[in-house]
């Protein structure tokens, strides 16, 4: 059986799904969205979990989270952030 993590699907940036990127992370459409505006924020360095990210990588992801949120609200101001 094929291992879905080898090669890692998140380490391959699909240009056609790319929305934003910075030096350390990228934002892209999800291939299988579970809701409207379902976006993935992914660090460019492969790690097993969030806690292995450096502070700079966390900041890079956070920058894209805020940028993506603003972009979504420009498209549809009725979208609410879920906590
Ligand atoms: Zn990866």
Three-state SS across 51-68?
HHCCHHHHHHHHHHHHHH
- Ligand 1 centroid–CA 63 distance in Å is 20
Q: What pLDDT is recorded for position 80?
A: 84
Does the pLDDT at position 83 exceed 70?
A: no
Does the pLDDT at position 74 exceed 80?
A: yes
What's the rounded Cα separation, in Å, for the pair 41 and 65? 7
Cβ atoms 63, 22 nearer than 8 A:
yes
Average pLDDT over residues 21-31: 96
Cβ atoms 38, 74 nearer than 8 A:
no
Whether pTM exceeds 0.75: yes
- Ligand 1 centroid–CA 77 distance in Å is 33
* Pairwise pLDDT comparison (49 vs 1), residue with the higher score: 49
Does the pLDDT at position 81 exceed 80?
A: no
Q: Which CATH architecture has domain 15-75?
A: 2-Layer Sandwich (3.30)
Q: What pLDDT is recorded for position 4?
A: 61
Which residues are paired to 70 by β-bridges? Answer: none
Q: Which residues surround ligand 1, an ion (CB under 5 A)?
A: 8, 10-11, 46
Average pLDDT over residues 50-69: 97
What residue segments make up the domains of the chain, in order of their start? Answer: 15-75
- Ligand 1 centroid–CA 48 distance in Å is 8
């Amino acid at each position: 059986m094929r291992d879905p993590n080898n090669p890692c699907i998140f380490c391959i940036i699909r240009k056609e799904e790319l929305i934003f990127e910075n030096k350390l992370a990228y934002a892209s459409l999800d291939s299988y969205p579970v809701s409207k505006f379902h976006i993935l924020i992914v660090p460019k360095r492969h790690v097993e979990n969030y806690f292995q990210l450096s502070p700079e990588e966390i900041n890079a992801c956070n920058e894209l989270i805020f940028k993506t949120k603003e972009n979504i609200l420009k498209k549809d101001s009725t979208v609410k952030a879920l906590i």
